[in-house]
Amino acid sequence: MDMIETDKTQERLDFFTELVHEHLPNWSFKVNSRLQTTLALTKYSSRTIEINKELICNGNFEIVWNIVLHEIAHGLVGFHHSHTNSAFINHCKALNTSPAPYIKGALPDDLMWKHLYKCMRCGTQYRRNRLSRGLKQGYVRCRICRGSLEKIK
Ligand SMILES: [Zn+2]
Ligand SMILES: [Zn+2]
């Protein structure tokens, strides 16, 4: 499968719904806006994979992909298998994803954020996945000291 990078939430939803159906034909894929620290959930009783709203809207596409594959592996092995279970680990390997649970905040910043700006005066960093028009055109200034921002990633 080719890597299709998109920033549009609906396109992302369609893409990942299709990915889920490819491996788990009777399952559904839903956005859960109440999830805070949990990035994704596999609900075996309702055969649903739920995704954190902030993650699907703003998260790095590749990370979202890895997380959805991780949840698909959960769905494939069933609820009685833990993260250290060999059947689960093998499913993750086959899907080319990590068997370790993904925790919000535990992901490296450079993977979570596509763009990184730094204030040239006070050093404050600004992390973004989507750029506002102001950032694109370079007229946004540091919120703290009004210094100019430099794109470092
Ligand atoms: Zn897991
Ligand atoms: Zn500053």
What is this structure's pTM?
A: 0.68
Domain span at residue 124?
113-151
**Distance of CA 87 from the midpoint of ligand 1 (Å):** 13
pLDDT class of 86 with cuts at 50, 70, 90: very high
In the structure, what pLDDT confidence band is assigned to residue 122 with cuts at 50, 70 and 90?
Answer: very high
Structural domain count of the chain: 2
Task: Report the separation in Å between the CA atom of 69 and the middle of ligand 1, taken as the mean of its atom positions.
Answer: 10
Starting from the CA of residue 118, give the closest ligand. Answer: 2
Neighbours of ion ligand 1 (CB under 5 A): 101
Check whether residue 126 and residue 140 sit in a common domain.
yes
Report the separation in Å between the CA atom of 107 and the middle of ligand 2, taken as the mean of its atom positions: 25
Question: Regarding beta strands 28-32 and 48-52, do their DSSP bridges make them parallel or antiparallel, or are they unpaired?
Answer: parallel
Cα angle for residues 65, 71, 73 (degrees, 5° grid): 105
**Same domain? 42 vs 88:** yes
| Whether residue 92 sits in one domain with residue 28 | yes
Residue 92 near residue 73, CB atoms below 8 Å? yes
If asked whether residues 27 and 71 sit together in one domain, one would say yes
pLDDT confidence tier of residue 1, bands split at 50, 70 and 90: very low
**DSSP state for residue 53 in the 8-state scheme:** H
Q: Tokens 């540091």 — which residue?
A: 142
Q: Are residues 76 and 17 in the same domain?
A: yes
In a domain? residue 86: yes
Assess contact for 87 and 81: CB atoms under 8 A. yes
Integer-rounded Cα radius of gyration of the chain? 18
- For residue 70, report the distance from its CA to the centre of ligand 1, in Å: 6
- Helix (H), strand (E) at residue 30: strand 28-32
Distance 98 CA to ligand 1 centre (A): 9
Give yes or no: residues 93 and 19 share one domain.
Answer: yes
Q: Are residues 135 and 102 in the same domain?
A: no
**In this structure, what CATH number is given to the domain that contains residue 44?**
3.30.2010.10
Question: Is the domain of 82 the same as that of 118?
Answer: no
CA of 79 to the centre of ligand 1 (A): 10
pLDDT value at 11 more than 70: yes
Assigned domain for 69 exists: yes
Higher local confidence (pLDDT), 145 or 35: 145
